[in-house]
Chains A and B, each alone.
Chain A
Amino acid sequence: MVLEFLQSLPSPIAQGMIWGIMAIGVFITFRVLDLADLTVDGTLGTGGAVLVILTTSGLNVWLSLLVAFIAGCLAGLVTGVLHTKFGIPAILAGILTQLALYSINLRVMGGRANTPISHRTYDLIVSSNTDLLPKTILVTAIFIAAIIAILYWFFGTEMGHSIRATGANEAMARANGINTNSRKIIGLVLSNGIVALSGGLLAQFSGNADINMGRGAIVIGLAAVIIGDVLLGKIFKNFALRLLSCVVGGIIYYIVIAIVLRLGLNTNDLKLFSAVVVAIFLGVPFWKNQLAGKRRKKSKAVKEDAAHA
């Protein structure tokens, strides 16, 4: 039983790694820019749809992936413009784009809710086929390394610094001559591009693009970011390592999912399970603070009582 489980591990690991790329995208908005961007639920599907349609119509799969990335960037641009030029709160701006993307994704897929792509017919980069899993894990690892390297460099540049400053302290950023609106747009573009790239890989991995593939993606992305943060935050301080911890979070998330499914959880209840996991992980730091606050108050009260007595 245990051995069998271990043998089945490569699949959730590969899946977790691909979602880890998505989580890196979420990290850029959620952690660096301090924005909750819900566009990603749509962008993931956009990435998948664009990749499958282009590849099956004969375009090279790498070029298709590049176009998927660009399509994601455009979706991020729309949310960015809605947020900064239309003055719509970031969450709502993301929801609007996400909703619009549902129609757009359907159009991209020619009106079908699901379009298959087979690793037998096309020379795919990744696949969940057992024989191709080692290659899939290796290639995804290379993708992750490249993305982390590029982002590490980018966020160390003058431009990257200005984006981080925008997320850390907007008043300070503007006082230092940074156009915070443009920086938010750049961050959203980059984030959604990466999410769409992940969607393109995910469609290859699962053998199809589905109109619902991005439903709840933000929750899984957040789960990966937060699990990585909670488990590794204390030791991974460096920016590159923090990005890596998102990927680790994604892998752990999918291993846990594999375990609970094996323990008999109904697949239909998966999203409920994900939501509960994320809610708890988001709540823990808050409760910790509250508890610490109460203890401080208590010990202060005790001291004061002692002083009065």
Chain B
Amino acid sequence: MLEVKNIYKTFNPGTVNEKKALSGVDLTLADGDFVTVIGGNGAGKSTLLNMISGVYSVDSGSIVVDGIDITGMPEHKRAKYFGRVFQDPMTGTAATMEIAENLALAARRGKRRTLRFGVTSKEKEQYRELLKTLDLGLEDRLTSKVGLLSGGQRQAITLLMATLQQPKLLLLDEHTAALDPKTSAKVLALTQKIISENKLTAMMVTHNMNDAITYGNRLIMMHEGRIILDISGEEKKQLTVEALLHKFEEVSGSEFANDRALLS
């Protein structure tokens, strides 16, 4: 359903800050794939997600979703295909708007915005039910400004927003990295639940090797702007952190450099 072909991206070309972020990435996802993405600092994990979602334009290569070439499509137009959750809990929601208004904004992803009411009362009921499933007590706070919520609550709401309109692909960019371990576990469990209930195709960037091994049916590892490992099926189920680190050193010829990953 997603075909990324030979993508290259260099930031600040021709300057002292030149950074080759992606050097020929090829990736094909099948419907229902739940891929975890892991890699060292600056390996290109987030860049890859940002290229798919259109935050940056590609230097060369192509991106195709369900047969539609979206390589040159602006970010807001291709948003209809993707649900996104970001590392920073502040990024996914509008702090000065109400919970219900945020959800309603997301419910209209990919649709024309008209002069009809921004949130209908029918929707409010639907959102109340939906928020109940989060078990965070948010169902009684529909009209609270999102800025008043904690990081974990905001990520949970962003997850709902990303999947309110069934996305073709859910893009999770280290969405639990900024949370404390307990909240992080809760949000991950919620992620798993939403993905399996809605049979979503998903890509999850994580710095946590255990999470990368535990979740999903496929794991890719990136290094210096390339995918250097792609493990799925039975082989992935057998994976351990040690085996993964060993494989990394074998393929890349260097040590795994991600402080957070090694400490967690």
Contact = CB atoms under 8 A, between A and B. Distances in A.
Interface of A: 154, 156-162, 164-165, 168-169, 171-180
B222 interface: no
A25 B111 CA distance: 28
Contacts of A157: 113-118
Contacts of B86: 171
Number of contact residues on B: which range applies?
Answer: 35 or more
B162 to A, nearest CB: 8
A165 B97 contact: yes
Interface in B46-86: 53, 55, 74-77, 79-80, 82, 84, 86
B105 A165 contact: yes
A158 B114 contact: yes
Given A161-B113, A168-B95, A176-B105, 13 more contacts: A157-B115, A158-B108, A158-B115, A161-B101, A162-B105, A168-B94, A168-B97, A172-B91, A173-B94, A177-B109, A178-B76, A178-B113, A179-B74
Contacts of B2: none
Contacts of B119: 161
Contacts of A160: 118
Q: How would you classify the secondary structure of chain A's contact residues: helix, strand, loop or mixed? A: helix
A24 to B, nearest CB: 18
B115 A172 contact: no
Given A169-B91, A169-B93, A176 B79 contact: yes
A158 B101 CA distance: 9
Contact of A162 (B55, B90, B113, B117): B113
Interface centre among A156, A158, A171, A177 (most CB of B within 10 A): A177
A180 B76 contact: yes
A176 B106 CA distance: 6
Interface string B100-127: 0100111011110111111100000000
Q: How would you classify the secondary structure of chain B's contact residues: helix, strand, loop or mixed? A: loop
Interface centre among A160, A161, A172 (most CB of B within 10 A): A172
Contact of A161 (B79, B104, B111): B104
A175 B84 contact: yes
A175 B104 contact: no
A164 B146 CA distance: 14
Interface centre among B86, B104, B105 (most CB of A within 10 A): B105
Contacts of B161: 176
6 contacts: A157-B115, A157-B117, A169-B95, A172-B92, A173-B76, A177-B110
A175 B115 CA distance: 21
Contacts of A159: 113-115
Given A158-B108, A168-B95, A169-B91, A175 B117 contact: no
Nearest to B93: A172
Interface centre among A157, A161, A175 (most CB of B within 10 A): A175
B198 interface: no
A179 B74 CA distance: 9
A129 B73 CA distance: 58
B181 to A, nearest CB: 24
Contacts of B106: 176
A187 to B, nearest CB: 14
A171 B95 CA distance: 12
Interface string B146-180: 00000000000000010000000000000000000
Contact of A177 (B80, B92, B114, B117): B80
B10 interface: no
